């Protein structure tokens, strides 16, 4: 059989001029980091909030002016990194390595702190999840999983809506990253079976639009599930911790009252958006052959084999440890079992695991974590946040609905550049006092939920969430091994969905759920009392 593969939107035209984008990215870095004078507002923030003192103690800077200059270097790295990640001017894994390289050479952080961004809990978590995907596919368990979830569906629309609804709801309660690792190979298998049935004359006629459609639909459905419950991600738990510090704690089921009703709406939104976006581009309009092929292969596999039982048991064990392990185990510790168990129990060889892991995606994500650390520790993120808040004040969006819209928009933007937990950890201490000072009933819950909800929508940059990195890393054509999606695709297809997702939170969440469910009486007064006591 011969293969025909044409990438319809893979980076032709101006995007193919890699040298142009390298020059633009490097030029912006030099302009901001070395040429422009340091604004007095940057100097003020690094001095007022203790960033200069911290950098001086770390021997990264010798005085306030030098600390502010380090902050300007980080602000220069941001546009360069975004351009390189989006256009693949250099391979995205190499762009990831560029982040700690710049941090080392310009001494932006202590050396041991830079190393931790490549060896902390989050990198180990993603490494384990990628290995998990390799192990699941190697034993064929992903086909059985697909048969359970989608095997009863037919046609085109029904499987897509079932996929979006099920993944968004599941993503509210268990690791969306793990589900992404399991289901990405499933989507690839459904794709391959469907296009194979549609091909004629022994010639594989690929349908790149369908490949992108299936992977992005899966990824975005899992992303939006993050608003549903505290179990969806660490950023939700972090925000709950901030509320507890002001003596207004929120329990698990109360969060669900505010967040879970939006999940099915967001799931349907993903399905409709993707259908409208790709509807006319897709040539293969029936997924039944792909689903039937998976069902048939599952039937031929018979009852579950020893490797499948071991793999299934490994998944349950890791999920159990994620739930009960807490801070002691983190997410990375249990995830690393995905590298150990398949080898020890001889279900997948060590060579297959190493060969199957997308190291490009892993280096890219680690580099994004380094960038997030640089933003946080040098005060660059604080300066960006404060600058945005000043704009909100100028346009009158400094309380109530306007404040919730503005801060959720800021949170949603920032989470595409740094981790969702990092975004919440940075903005939480800033926005909660802001909400309390407005005197609006329902604060600080209202503003805290606004910020936390928006961190689920890291749709438009590949570095925004592990889900994006996973579909990029594992999404390959089964016959050629080529990537199904490109980093720029996230910008092209994700930004519109990001705006629509924010719109759902603003309209359904702020105008609907906030008013229908309301907020407990007295939380504003309690939080204000704690804040005033702290000031005194």
Query: Does the pLDDT value for residue 536 go beyond 50?
Result: no
In the prediction, which pLDDT does 168 show?
94
Q: What does the buried/exposed string (b/e) look like for 521-534 if buried means 16 or more CB atoms within 10 Å of the residue's CB?
A: eebbeebbeebeee
User: How far apart, in whole angstroms, are the C-alpha atoms of residue 512 and residue 152?
Assistant: 35
Closest among 515, 517, 464, 521 to 487, alpha carbons compared: 464
Torsion, CA 469, CA 471, CA 472, CA 478, rounded to 10: 150
Query: Does the pLDDT value for residue 465 go beyond 70?
Result: yes
Query: Does the pLDDT value for residue 514 go beyond 50?
Result: yes
For the segment 153-196, what is each residue's pLDDT rounded down to a tens digit?
889 999 999 999 999 998 888 778 778 887 898 888 889 888 98
pTM: 0.77
Please, which residues bridge with residue 205 across strands?
A: 4
DSSP string of 51-85?
HHHHHHHTTS-SSHHHHHHHHHHHHHHHHHHHHHH
Tally of CB atoms within 10 A around 1: 9
Query: Does the pLDDT value for residue 10 go beyond 70?
Result: no
In the prediction, which pLDDT does 14 show?
63
In the prediction, which pLDDT does 13 show?
59
The DSSP H or E segment spanning 363 is helix 359-377
CA angle 222, 157, 2 (to 5 degrees): 90
CA angle 79, 80, 83 (to 5 degrees): 85
For the segment 216-237, what is each residue's pLDDT rounded down to a tens digit?
999 999 999 999 988 786 688 7
DSSP string of 381-395?
HHHHHHHHHHHHHHT
CB 374 within 8 A of CB 70: no
The band of 201, judged by pLDDT with boundaries at 50, 70 and 90, is: low
Domain positions in the chain: 122-233+249-357
Torsion sign, CA atoms 509, 515, 516, 520? positive
For the segment 494-513, what is each residue's pLDDT rounded down to a tens digit?
999 999 999 999 999 999 99
CA angle 270, 276, 277 (to 5 degrees): 85
In the prediction, which pLDDT does 204 show?
78
CA angle 169, 483, 301 (to 5 degrees): 65
Closest among 83, 122, 118, 80 to 100, alpha carbons compared: 118
Torsion, CA 152, CA 154, CA 158, CA 162, rounded to 10: 30
In the prediction, which pLDDT does 107 show?
94
The DSSP H or E segment spanning 3 is strand 2-4
In the prediction, which pLDDT does 167 show?
92
Torsion sign, CA atoms 489, 490, 495, 497? positive
Tell me, what DSSP letter sits at residue 480? T
Q: Which of 31-40, 463-472, 487-496 has the lowest mean pLDDT?
A: 463-472
Mean pLDDT of 18-28: 93
Q: Which stretches of 378-465 are DSSP H helices? A: 380-394, 400-414, 420-438, 445-454
- The burial class, CB within 10 Å (0-12 / 13-18 / 19+), for 107 is middle
- pLDDT, mean over the chain: 87
In the prediction, which pLDDT does 202 show?
66
In the chain, count of helices (H) and strands (E)? 29, 2
**N- to C-terminal Cα separation, the chain:** 78
In the prediction, which pLDDT does 6 show?
47
User: How far apart, in whole angstroms, are the C-alpha atoms of residue 220 and residue 212?
Assistant: 12
Closest among 69, 9, 3 to 380, alpha carbons compared: 69
Backbone phi, then psi, for 357, in 5-degree steps? -70, 135
For the segment 252-305, what is each residue's pLDDT rounded down to a tens digit?
889 999 999 999 999 999 999 999 999 889 999 899 988 888 888 888 888 889
In the prediction, which pLDDT does 324 show?
79
In the prediction, which pLDDT does 390 show?
82
Query: Does the pLDDT value for residue 97 go beyond 50?
Result: yes
Q: What does the buried/exposed string (b/e) look like for 185-201 if buried means 16 or more CB atoms within 10 Å of the residue's CB?
A: bbbbbbbbbbbbebbee
CB 534 within 8 A of CB 247: no
In the prediction, which pLDDT does 15 show?
59
Torsion sign, CA atoms 307, 309, 311, 314? negative
User: How far apart, in whole angstroms, are the C-alpha atoms of residue 164 and residue 175?
Assistant: 16
User: How far apart, in whole angstroms, are the C-alpha atoms of residue 62 and residue 363?
Assistant: 32
Which structure tokens are listed for 366?
A: 């680690």
Give the Å distances, CA to CA, from 274 to 12, 192, 212, 493.
Answer: 22, 19, 10, 8
Torsion, CA 447, CA 453, CA 455, CA 461, rounded to 10: -130
In the prediction, which pLDDT does 236 show?
85
Query: Does the pLDDT value for residue 25 go beyond 70?
Result: yes
The DSSP H or E segment spanning 300 is helix 288-301
The band of 11, judged by pLDDT with boundaries at 50, 70 and 90, is: very low
In the prediction, which pLDDT does 443 show?
92
Query: Does the pLDDT value for residue 332 go beyond 90?
Result: no
For the segment 356-370, what is each residue's pLDDT rounded down to a tens digit?
888 887 887 788 778
The band of 8, judged by pLDDT with boundaries at 50, 70 and 90, is: very low
Torsion, CA 372, CA 375, CA 378, CA 384, rounded to 10: -160
Which structure tokens are listed for 127?
A: 């490494």
Query: Does the pLDDT value for residue 329 go beyond 80?
Result: no
Please, which residues bridge with residue 349 across strands?
A: none
In the prediction, which pLDDT does 517 show?
95
User: How far apart, in whole angstroms, are the C-alpha atoms of residue 403 and residue 225?
Assistant: 24
The DSSP H or E segment spanning 205 is strand 203-205
User: How far apart, in whole angstroms, are the C-alpha atoms of residue 222 and residue 218?
Assistant: 6
User: How far apart, in whole angstroms, are the C-alpha atoms of residue 108 and residue 414?
Assistant: 20
For the segment 369-427, what is each residue's pLDDT rounded down to a tens digit?
788 788 878 988 778 878 877 888 888 888 899 999 999 999 999 888 777 877 887 78
In the prediction, which pLDDT does 4 show?
45
Mean pLDDT of 128-137: 83
CB 92 within 8 A of CB 360: yes
For the segment 436-454, what is each residue's pLDDT rounded down to a tens digit?
888 899 999 999 999 999 9
The band of 103, judged by pLDDT with boundaries at 50, 70 and 90, is: very high
The band of 326, judged by pLDDT with boundaries at 50, 70 and 90, is: low
Query: Does the pLDDT value for residue 1 go beyond 50?
Result: no
């Amino acid at each position: 059989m011969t293969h025909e593969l044409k990438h319809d939107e893979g980076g032709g035209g101006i995007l193919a001029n890699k040298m142009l984008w390298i020059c633009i990215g490097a030029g912006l870095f030099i302009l901001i980091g070395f040429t422009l004078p340091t604004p007095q507002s940057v100097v003020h923030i690094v001095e007022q909030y203790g960033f200069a003192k911290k950098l001086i103690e770390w021997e990264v800077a010798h005085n306030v002016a030098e600390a502010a200059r380090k902050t300007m270097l980080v602000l220069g790295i941001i546009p360069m990194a975004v351009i390189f990640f989006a256009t693949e001017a250099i391979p995205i894994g190499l762009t990831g390595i560029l982040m700690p390289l710049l941090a080392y050479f310009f001494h932006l952080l202590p050396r041991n702190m830079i190393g931790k961004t490549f060896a902390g809990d989050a990198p180990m978590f993603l490494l384990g999840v990628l290995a998990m995907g390799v192990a699941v596919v190697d034993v064929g368990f992903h086909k059985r999983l697909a048969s359970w979830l989608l095997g009863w569906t037919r046609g085109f629309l029904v499987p897509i809506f079932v996929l979006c609804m099920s993944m968004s709801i599941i993503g509210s309660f268990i690791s969306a990253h793990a589900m992404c690792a399991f289901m990405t190979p499933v989507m690839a298998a459904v794709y391959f079976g469907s296009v194979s049935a549609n091909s004629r004359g022994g010639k594989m006629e690929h349908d790149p639009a369908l490949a992108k459609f299936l992977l992005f639909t899966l990824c975005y459905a899992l992303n939006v599930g993050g608003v549903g419950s505290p179990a969806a991600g660490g950023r939700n738990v972090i925000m709950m911790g901030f509320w507890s510090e002001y003596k207004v704690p929120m329990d698990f089921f109360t969060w669900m009252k505010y967040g879970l009703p939006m999940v099915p709406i967001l799931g349907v939104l993903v399905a409709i958006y993707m259908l409208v976006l790709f509807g006319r581009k897709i040539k293969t309009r029936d997924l039944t052959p792909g689903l039937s092929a998976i069902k048939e292969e599952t039937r031929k596999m018979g009852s579950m084999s020893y490797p499948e039982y071991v793999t299934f048991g490994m998944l349950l064990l890791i999920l159990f440890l994620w739930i009960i392990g807490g801070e002691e185990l983190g997410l990375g510790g249990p995830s690393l079992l995905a590298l150990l168990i398949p080898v020890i129990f001889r279900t997948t060889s060590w060579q297959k695991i190493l060969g199957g892991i997308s190291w490009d995606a892993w280096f890219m994500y680690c580099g994004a974590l380094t960038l997030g650390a640089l933003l946080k520790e040098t005060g660059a993120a604080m300066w960006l946040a404060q600058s945005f808040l000043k704009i909100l004040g100028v346009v009158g969006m400094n309380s109530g609905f306007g404040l919730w819209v503005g801060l959720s928009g800021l949170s949603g933007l920032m989470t595409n550049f740094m981790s969702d937990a990092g975004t919440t950890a940075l903005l939480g201490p800033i926005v909660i006092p802001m909400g309390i000072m407005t005197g609006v009933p329902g604060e600080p819950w209202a503003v805290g939920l606004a910020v936390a909800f928006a961190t689920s929508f890291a749709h438009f940059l590949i570095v925004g969430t592990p889900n994006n990195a996973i579909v990029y890393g594992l999404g390959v054509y089964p016959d050629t091994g080529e990537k199904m999606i490109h980093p720029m695709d996230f910008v092209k297809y994700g930004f519109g969905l990001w705006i629509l997702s924010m719109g759902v939170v603003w309209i359904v969440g702020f105008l609907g759920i906030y008013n229908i469910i309301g907020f407990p009486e007295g939380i504003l007064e309690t939080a204000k009392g704690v804040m005033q006591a702290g000031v005194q």
